[in-house]
């Protein structure tokens, strides 16, 4: 019973609303924190790690037609609400867009990629009226570790091991224990997942109303099959998000796309196949836990598409559970996902994320169907481990440190642009 409560808390604490893609939201949050230390904004310097730079490079800013790190910084500094965390850019005051544009046009916003590393790092320095504010986020998208005003340190709190790795405890569990939890825990343990579904459905609806789903409408066809419905709900919410729809996503492991892909396909499958709400919520819990487990080993930001691989593997496991599979078959779904999808690269938060999500949904559906027939690639092949835990760890290792040079190459291409 005690460990069941721990796992419930782990998912609950890891989820957070994110307005727009998480990286621009985090940049805006940092800049809003720094801005609060000065009377006006005249100059902004932003330093970020490679993953933040890449993911925000051409990512849409919700409620605007703009995109990218510099715009996120300027809007966050001029009108962001630091009290809202990752939703700092929600409901920007009138006139802020014009002020941000003027600041950018005179070259008063500088963005630097200051370290090649998977660990999150954002430092914002805002100057104005003869004053300077500095804010630093580390390891998580909202992990404020340093705050300074005019050289006076207001906060200097290097991340503790728990802050550095807030989901570390999941590494002590086996996949079978995660399955035991989702099968046996009282239904009340999972009620909070309704909030994630509601938020991600509202994001999808915003995308529909704002005409931001052109790719999804083609990919999902007439929505008659289970796969089409899974595609529409997942890819639609992700496309809405990366195109700047004016509604938040419920993030998981610091990513709205991960949160969407770990939840929305299962909603579609449950609705199309007439599964109960309890069956759905238990499948969602397993999906979230598997997603978190893989991300513990791949790092929160890397050159690997965690949305498709981690979120997709979570969904594959959830599908097996949803359709009555055994713990052994859930483990086979992990093997199949690792054997098939590992290696898809991440080159930033952009419209292509909807296409990658489609690949993740399709693969999760196919791999779960194989697993339900007790079919899987044998563990002696490729990166597969002798246990599902080892397989998930190996999936993470491919991302970090395995794809560090891949990320360097991606960044070189972005710099050339």
Q: Which pLDDT score, from 0 to 100, does residue 408 have?
A: 87
Instruction: Find the helix or strand (DSSP H, E) in which 388 lies.
Output: helix 388-399
How far apart are alpha carbons 417 and 154 in whole angstroms? 38
State the Rg of the chain over Cα: 21
Q: Which pLDDT score, from 0 to 100, does residue 61 have?
A: 87
Mean pLDDT (whole number) for 159-175: 75
- Three-state DSSP class for residue 102: helix
Q: Which pLDDT score, from 0 to 100, does residue 130 have?
A: 97
How far apart are alpha carbons 396 and 91 in whole angstroms? 37
Residues in the chain: 417
Which residues make beta-bridge pairs with 126?
A: 44, 133
pLDDT per residue as tens digits for the range 364-383: 999 999 999 999 999 999 89
Q: Which pLDDT score, from 0 to 100, does residue 42 have?
A: 97
pTM here is 0.88
Above 50 in pLDDT, residue 276?
A: yes
Q: Output 139 or 130, whichever has higher pLDDT.
A: 130
Above 90 in pLDDT, residue 199?
A: yes
Alpha helices in 185-326 (DSSP H): 193-209, 214-219, 226-242, 256-261, 264-273, 277-298, 306, 312-322
How far apart are alpha carbons 109 and 89 in whole angstroms? 17
- Three-state DSSP class for residue 412: helix
Mean pLDDT (whole number) for 330-335: 98
Q: Output 171 or 165, whichever has higher pLDDT.
A: 171
Above 60 in pLDDT, residue 67?
A: yes
- Three-state DSSP class for residue 370: helix
* Cβ-contact 217, 240 below 8 angstroms: no
Mean pLDDT (whole number) for 142-157: 95
Query: With DSSP H G I counted as helix, E B as strand and the rest as coil, what are the percentages for the chain, rounded to 5?
Result: 60, 15, 30
Determine the Cα angle at 354 with ends 351 and 256, to 5°. 95
Mean pLDDT (whole number) for 94-114: 96
Query: What six digits make up the tokens of 90?
Result: 């929600």
Of the candidates 291, 94, 284, which has an alpha carbon nearest to the alpha carbon of residue 200? 284
Q: pLDDT averaged over the chain?
A: 92
Above 50 in pLDDT, residue 1?
A: no
* Cβ-contact 281, 331 below 8 angstroms: no
Determine the Cα angle at 79 with ends 74 and 85, to 5°. 95
Above 50 in pLDDT, residue 278?
A: yes
Looking at residue 319, the DSSP 8-state letter turns out to be H
Rounded percentage of the chain residues whose pLDDT exceeds 70: 97
* Cβ-contact 250, 196 below 8 angstroms: yes
How far apart are alpha carbons 23 and 29 in whole angstroms? 10
Of the candidates 390, 250, 395, which has an alpha carbon nearest to the alpha carbon of residue 310? 395
């Amino acid at each position: 019973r005690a460990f069941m409560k721990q796992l419930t808390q782990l998912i609950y604490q890891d989820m957070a609303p994110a307005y727009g893609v998480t990286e621009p939201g985090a940049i805006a949050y940092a800049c809003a924190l720094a801005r609060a230390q000065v009377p006006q904004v005249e100059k902004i310097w932003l330093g970020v790690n490679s993953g933040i730079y890449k993911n925000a490079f051409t990512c849409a800013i919700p409620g605007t037609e703009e995109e990218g790190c510099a715009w996120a910084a300027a809007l966050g500094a001029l009108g962001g609400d630091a009290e809202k965390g990752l939703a700092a850019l929600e409901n920007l005051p009138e006139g802020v867009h014009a002020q941000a544009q003027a600041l950018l046009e005179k070259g008063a916003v500088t963005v630097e990629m200051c370290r090649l590393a998977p660990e999150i790092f954002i430092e914002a320095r805002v100057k104005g009226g003869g004053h300077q504010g500095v804010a630093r986020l580390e390891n998580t998208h909202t992990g404020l570790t340093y705050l300074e005003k005019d050289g006076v340190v207001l906060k200097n709190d290097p991340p503790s091991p728990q802050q550095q790795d807030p989901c570390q405890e999941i590494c002590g569990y086996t996949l079978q224990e995660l399955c035991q939890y989702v099968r046996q825990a009282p239904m009340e343990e999972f009620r909070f997942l309704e909030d994630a579904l509601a938020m991600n459905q509202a994001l999808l609806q915003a995308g529909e109303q704002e005409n931001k789903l052109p790719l999804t409408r083609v990919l999902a066809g007439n929505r008659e099959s289970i796969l089409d419905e899974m595609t529409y709900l997942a890819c639609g919410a992700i496309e809405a998000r990366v195109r700047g729809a004016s509604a938040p996503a419920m993030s998981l492991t610091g990513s709205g796309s991960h949160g969407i892909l770990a939840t929305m396909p299962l909603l579609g499958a449950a609705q199309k196949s007439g599964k109960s709400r309890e069956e759905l919520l238990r499948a969602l819990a397993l999906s979230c836990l598997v997603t978190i487990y893989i991300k513990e080993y791949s790092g929160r930001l890397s050159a690997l598409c965690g949305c498709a691989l981690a979120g997709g593997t979570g969904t594959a496991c959830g599908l097996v559970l949803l359709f009555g599979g055994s713990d052994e078959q859930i483990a086979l779904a992990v093997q199949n996902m690792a054997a098939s999808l590992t290696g898809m690269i991440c080159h930033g938060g952009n419209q292509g994320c909807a296409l990658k999500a489609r690949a993740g949904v399709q693969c999760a559906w196919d791999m779960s169907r194989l697993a339900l027939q007790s079919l899987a690639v044998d563990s002696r092949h490729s990166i597969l481990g002798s246990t599902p835990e080892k397989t998930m760890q190996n999936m993470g290792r491919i991302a970090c440190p395995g794809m560090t040079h891949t990320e360097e190459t991606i960044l070189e291409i972005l710099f050339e642009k």
